[in-house]
Chain A
Amino acid sequence: MNNFRYFPNSKKDIAKLYRILGIKDKKELFGKILGGIPLMEAGILKALPEEMDEEALYRFFLNIDSNIPAKNKTAVFAGGGIYNHFVPAAIDGLMSRSEFYTPYTPYQPEVSQGTLFALFEFQSMIAEILGMDVVNASMYDGAESLAEAVLAAMRLSSANRDLPAGHKDDLILISEGVNPNYTSVIKTFAGGTGVKIGKIKLNGQTGQTDIEDLKQKLANGGRVPAVVVQQPNYLGVIEDLEEIEPLIHSDSNSSFIVSSTEPYSFGVINPPGFYNADIFAGEGNSFGNYMNFGGPLLGLFAAKKEYVRQMPGRIVGKTKDGKDRDAYAFILSTREQHIRRGAATSNICTNSSLNAVRAAIYLSLCSKSGFKEIASLNLKLAHILRDRLLSSGLFEPLYEGDFFNEFSLKLKIKGNKHNNNITASEFIEKMAERDILAGIAISESAVLISATENNGLSDIEKYAENAKEVLNA
């Protein structure tokens, strides 16, 4: 037994523990407990890496850090569900407080008022941004949140019809404008229920969900517990939710679910609540969280008040203590697994609490005017970038629909070949070598590009010039 720095019992203390327990050593201790199960062989342990001292450990990771694209050199125009937004230093300062990052879930409200209050403020600010009644205290990520939204809608629809929750005849309609990874996650979650999953096509010209196709699929009969659209959609296009909503609500058993990977858009465009969405489920990582190579993220889940009993996850409510002081606690816990076990609305326990607190801090820092200003900046930069790339003559539009901070373009074809005969993913690779993450290849010839306040005009210029070199070379 070595004295390692994370273990506060000395060799003497450990000897004392063994003495008090009347046990000689580890072999006897585990032998008594494990019975026939062997202690791990020395040979297995030997194959593990050697202990690293703290400085060596730091250098090991620093070496990794310095061999990946550098923050100070790379212009990130890739989005596709996660966006390169500016994170103020005040967030990292506050989040370095152990009082926020080292507690467990606030099951003892009297000693967890800090986290509970911060989550209540998170719920309040997100509700305001989305225009929705109730927001929960977070889900894992946008995709899982959306999958849970679909399951909630299926429960609601069964409850309305007074039918058992069998779903063999149910059809979930998902717009092709929904992020394909999100649709995959929905399939993973809903797959076991027997429900069918149908697509709604996109309008080839605008890139919006095709209204005629939606009408037709709804008219085909059958039960449709949920219709899912994303705002702005995967291709960046702003959906006309005003047209879509009444079609879905003509059936009182259908839930209108709106998702989003970029709720920053609701600083400029109307939020899902404005269009009478029943459930919103999407990603909140843009609010004060780093990209972290894709996780942890921040799943947002919101619903109309009347559906709160079908919501998954924890919800913080405001109440009083015995002396009539304001206090916060988890509420409506009878929906949850630790009380209801197999009959819970979801199995979720650990969520993205800390990321939600980050978002609360971020949105507070932004304040009313900053949030709108940054959203507007995103809108303008994306339009400037798109215009600049189109004017180079190397790209052509994929869709004409309005967009917020993300859009898709096609590499222009010369004769019967693409520019310089390269594919979209080759274009991305070559641009990446030049320290530009130029977007995401969404087909052989099309690229999905996003712009945020972290990419100013000089980055846009750099993109355009390098694209020219790469495509004309």
Chain B
Amino acid sequence: MPKFPGIKGIFLDEDPLMEQGSKGLKGISIPDCGLKKSDLKKDESAYIDAKYIRKSPPELPEVSEPTVVRHFTRLSSWNMCVDTVFYPLGSCTMKYNPKINEKIASLENIKNLHPLTPGSLIQPVLKMVYDFNEILCRLTGLAEFSFAPQAGAAGEFAGLKIIKKYFDLKGENRKTILVPDSSHGTNPASSVLAGFTPVEIKTGKAGTLDAGELEKFVSKDVAGIMITNPNTFGVFEKDIKKIAEIMHKNGSFIYMDGANFNAFLGSARVSDMGIDLIQLNLHKTFSTPHGGGGPGSGALGVVESLREFLPVPYVKKVSGENTAGADKNFNRQVYELAEDKNNTIGKMTPFLCNFAVVIRAYAYLLSLGRENIASVSELAVLNANYVKKKLGKILSDPGPFEEGLCMHECVFNDKAIEENGISTIELAKLLIDYGFHPPTVYFPKNIRGAIMIEPTETESIRTLDNFIKAVKEIRFKTKKSKAVKSPQKTKVGRVNEVLANKHPIFKY
């Protein structure tokens, strides 16, 4: 058994850069643009009306390059991250972010490409987006994707706007979107933003949505249902096909929150479940880094009948069914950025998409290829079930699900740890001192003191065992007095959030 990674070490403290300045210093090399000295000296009022000119420049720090580099390097050392620790944050799919994808996204011409460069010069880039779209269609069984949504919530919003517009055009005023009470907070929030009223349905005892229960909510006011599958307990919605049938019979849509798509990647298609729309969080399932909160990409896929509603612009293939050879060196204009979607919900973003995220996701898929892609979901599901089984013995209560299998993540309640007086948040903070990032806690809301663990496919049994051992120690050996003080090995201790909210300080 490996040692726990959390040991004592030096934390380097660091003052705000604002306090480290010295007048006149700067850390940037300003390009020599060849301007004459006389021009460089000229006052701005020689160019524009003096009334517009800012009298005092913004008070930025005055620091050199090494000071900036040391400052931010020290800051970075205060973060836990996927590359340093096991990061089993449920519903977030914190898998390994391949380094080659970073190298590819940093290719000089790609990262410096202006989005309004004439189409004839950027054929390879447009082809890439087009081809990736086709792959996502194959993996889901849907007809077309839009990369316009910048994150999962934006994908949800776009999907719901499409549903809204569909009914508007049909002259039907349907106002309700059904959401299970275990859904991500973004689901009801996106529903409201798209002009709907979200109505919550209680999940059944097994942690899934019961088709019979759903029937009670069905009316001509229901535009659709948003369902996370596997749901936020990590459980597959067994009635999914029936739910889709009920919705379709009612003329409504079934939107799947694809945040948990990692459980299906290469193993099952959402079209076989009857899904009409889904957003794929490329920053989860497709390995692009989370960046400490973003950016991401929430590519939205739809069935054939909704293609014309997708956001614009999109990449359109305009010529040549058989262009082999002819466009091998990208000499012909085969692809263009088009806006000709008859019922489009409009634009979501100023340009095409979060391209640098999309390219990483595409590189990830090409790395895996058809040989390995199905292993992603298999290993993710295996790992989660292993944790569920092992921790089930320690945290005793099976939680929301009976004895069945989970998918990519598992959820426990706080009943077992409560026996030795430890709360969920204390468990989370104790795990930090062992050298693990805590699981998602207190979500889903309908599980008491929920502890939600998603190991992903990029963790070994060895790591999982180490984590399980830590939970076991906490469960059976840790005293309350230690729990309330944790974490103790971090840069700062438990943060006073009451103070932070009572007397908010937003800036220096």
Q: How far is the CA of A21 from the CA of B111 in the complex (A)?
A: 46
Q: Provided the pairs A104-B290, A364-B63 are in contact, do residues A68 and B30 lie with their beta carbons within 8 angstroms? A: no
Q: How far is the CA of A269 from the CA of B109 in the complex (A)?
A: 32
Whether, in the assembled complex, B366 has its beta carbon less than 8 Å from a beta carbon of chain A, the answer is yes
Instruction: Indicate if the CB atoms of B30 and A373 lie closer than 8 Å.
Output: yes
Q: How far is the CA of A296 from the CA of B289 in the complex (A)?
A: 13
Chain B interface residue count, Cβ-Cβ cutoff 8 angstroms: 201
Instruction: Indicate if the CB atoms of A350 and B151 lie closer than 8 Å.
Output: yes
Q: Provided the pairs A314-B293, A320-B496, A402-B52 are in contact, do residues A337 and B189 lie with their beta carbons within 8 angstroms? A: yes
Chain A residues positioned under 8 Å from B100 (CB to CB) = 54, 57-58
Chain A residues positioned under 8 Å from B354 (CB to CB) = 140, 295-296
Across the interface, B491 reaches (CB within 8 A) one of A36, A38, A110, namely A110
Whether, in the assembled complex, B7 has its beta carbon less than 8 Å from a beta carbon of chain A, the answer is no
Chain A residues positioned under 8 Å from B443 (CB to CB) = 338
Whether, in the assembled complex, A39 has its beta carbon less than 8 Å from a beta carbon of chain B, the answer is yes
Instruction: Indicate if the CB atoms of A57 and B104 lie closer than 8 Å.
Output: yes
Q: Provided the pairs A101-B97, A112-B79 are in contact, do residues A78 and B116 lie with their beta carbons within 8 angstroms? A: yes
Instruction: Indicate if the CB atoms of B370 and A50 lie closer than 8 Å.
Output: yes
Instruction: Indicate if the CB atoms of B367 and A51 lie closer than 8 Å.
Output: yes
Q: Provided the pairs A35-B238, A100-B76 are in contact, do residues A69 and B121 lie with their beta carbons within 8 angstroms? A: yes
Instruction: Indicate if the CB atoms of A432 and B118 lie closer than 8 Å.
Output: yes
Segment among B247-255, B378-386, B414-422, B469-477 that sits at the interface with chain A: B378-386
Instruction: Indicate if the CB atoms of B506 and A367 lie closer than 8 Å.
Output: no
Instruction: Indicate if the CB atoms of A45 and B370 lie closer than 8 Å.
Output: yes
Instruction: Indicate if the CB atoms of A135 and B506 lie closer than 8 Å.
Output: yes
Contact with B along A330-368 (1 / 0, CB 8 A): 011000111111111011111111110100110111111
Q: How far is the CA of A121 from the CA of B74 in the complex (A)?
A: 14
Q: How far is the CA of A355 from the CA of B50 in the complex (A)?
A: 33
Residue of A nearest to B39 (CB): A380
Segment among A156-164, A212-220, A411-419, A451-459 that sits at the interface with chain B: A451-459
Chain B residues positioned under 8 Å from A141 (CB to CB) = 150, 349-350
Q: How far is the CA of A308 from the CA of B65 in the complex (A)?
A: 34
Whether, in the assembled complex, A9 has its beta carbon less than 8 Å from a beta carbon of chain B, the answer is yes
Instruction: Indicate if the CB atoms of A270 and B151 lie closer than 8 Å.
Output: no
Chain B residues positioned under 8 Å from A7 (CB to CB) = 372, 375, 379, 457-458
Q: How far is the CA of A78 from the CA of B351 in the complex (A)?
A: 14
Across the interface, A81 reaches (CB within 8 A) one of B73, B157, B350, B371, namely B350
Instruction: Indicate if the CB atoms of B106 and A67 lie closer than 8 Å.
Output: no
Segment among B299-307, B318-326, B497-505 that sits at the interface with chain A: B497-505
Residue of A nearest to B65 (CB): A90
Chain B residues positioned under 8 Å from A82 (CB to CB) = 114-115, 350-351
Q: From residue 69 to 121 of chain B, which have CB atoms closer than 8 A to chain A? A: 69, 71-73, 75-84, 87, 89, 92, 94-98, 100, 102-118, 120-121
Q: How far is the CA of A468 from the CA of B404 in the complex (A)?
A: 74
Instruction: Indicate if the CB atoms of A361 and B150 lie closer than 8 Å.
Output: no
Q: Provided the pairs A269-B48, A373-B30 are in contact, do residues A291 and B458 lie with their beta carbons within 8 angstroms? A: no
Q: How far is the CA of A114 from the CA of B161 in the complex (A)?
A: 37
Chain B residues positioned under 8 Å from A297 (CB to CB) = 349-350
Instruction: Indicate if the CB atoms of B389 and A20 lie closer than 8 Å.
Output: yes
Across the interface, B347 reaches (CB within 8 A) one of A62, A188, A305, A367, namely A188
Instruction: Indicate if the CB atoms of A317 and B504 lie closer than 8 Å.
Output: yes
Chain B residues positioned under 8 Å from A114 (CB to CB) = 75-79
Instruction: Indicate if the CB atoms of B26 and A8 lie closer than 8 Å.
Output: no
Q: From residue 18 to 74 of chain B, which have CB atoms closer than 8 A to chain A? A: 18, 21, 24-35, 39-40, 42, 44, 47-49, 51-54, 57-63, 65, 68-69, 71-73
The 10 closest A-B pairs by CB, nearest first: A294-B351, A51-B369, A192-B195, A294-B115, A354-B291, A353-B293, A296-B295, A319-B500, A98-B83, A342-B188
A-B contact pairs, 24 of them (CB 8 A): A29-B378, A37-B272, A48-B138, A49-B365, A49-B366, A64-B128, A69-B117, A76-B114, A94-B69, A103-B290, A106-B79, A110-B432, A113-B78, A127-B507, A184-B346, A192-B195, A283-B350, A295-B357, A347-B190, A350-B296, A351-B294, A354-B295, A364-B60, A455-B33
